[in-house]
Amino acid sequence: MARTPRNTLSAELIVRTALELMEAKGTEQFSLRGVAAELGVGPMALYTYFRNKDELYDAVRDHLMGLLPDVPRDVPWPDQVRAVCGSLRVLMLQHPCLAQLLASRPLAGHETARVAEGLLGVLRSAGFDPETAARTHTTLFTYVLGAVTWEIQMAAERRDPEAWRRLRTTMESLSAREFPTVVELAPELARTTGGDEQFDYGLDLLLAGLRTPS
């Protein structure tokens, strides 16, 4: 009979389903039981492929990192850096769960190493010494992580009418005497939060600080 058919599951299928659910219902609402139900399977079936929830998270993160394109060749190295950081940002915006996965688990896995290899290769080829290349790699990565995390956060806030209204009213309740600059710059702060321009502004600051060695 068709009950308990073997080999209907696989690590890849579980990862894809998990990713779907994370994007559909948000990382907070995501649960192993939800994945199992979606697959028409008992909750414990997943433990054949992953030792626990964190291991599934790792697999999802690495799967997402695998979607990043390779570094473009035949353009100046600053544009290569911009391409790497930009495509990571786009991927994080398309899959908001990636931001949380990157922030709460170490960088490990094959695809993650591939991405690091790309950026580190660019920096080494540009002439940076090993230590500077490593430092710059970490700086760029953490900048993207923070900037896009914040961007996602603010976008979510804007989407939720309740939260957005609350944010506006608390903003407006701030005393102009106590916080003159915040009140004065409120429009700019609201306008410049998120978006390509804000991201590029910070990235260009970093690149402007970098000088090609000798």
Within residues 14-33, the interface with DNA by CB under 7 A covers 30-33
Residue 104 burial by CB count (10 A; 0-12/13-18/19+): exposed, middle or buried? exposed
- CA atoms of 128 and 117, how far apart (whole Å): 15
Helix or strand run (H / E) with residue 66: none
One DSSP character per residue, 101-153 reads HHHHS---SHHHHHHHHHHHHHHHHTT--HHHHHHHHHHHHHHHHHHHHHHHH
* From 42, 66, 69, 180, residue interacting with DNA (rule: CB under 7 A): 42
* From 41, 134, 155, 167, residue interacting with DNA (rule: CB under 7 A): 41
Binding-residue pattern over the window 50 to 89 for DNA, x denoting contact by CB under 7 A: --xxx-----------------------------------
The nearest distance, CB 206 to a second copy, in angstroms, is 5
| 10 in contact with a second copy (CB under 8 A) | no
Instruction: Choose from a second copy, DNA, none: what does 53 bind? Cβ within 5-8 Å by kind.
Output: DNA
- CA atoms of 173 and 183, how far apart (whole Å): 10
Binding-residue pattern over the window 58 to 97 for a second copy, x denoting contact by CB under 8 A: ----------------------------------------
- CA atoms of 66 and 211, how far apart (whole Å): 31
Tokens of 33: 């039981």
Within residues 102-131, the interface with a second copy by CB under 8 A covers 103-106, 108-110, 113-114, 116-117, 120-121, 124, 130-131
The nearest distance, CB 111 to a second copy, in angstroms, is 11
Q: What is the dihedral of CA 214, 77, 116, 31, to 10 degrees?
A: 140
Contact in structure between 71 and 119 (CB atoms under 8 Å):
yes
| 176 in contact with a second copy (CB under 8 A) | no
Instruction: Choose from a second copy, DNA, none: what does 68 bind? Cβ within 5-8 Å by kind.
Output: none
The nearest distance, CB 40 to DNA, in angstroms, is 7
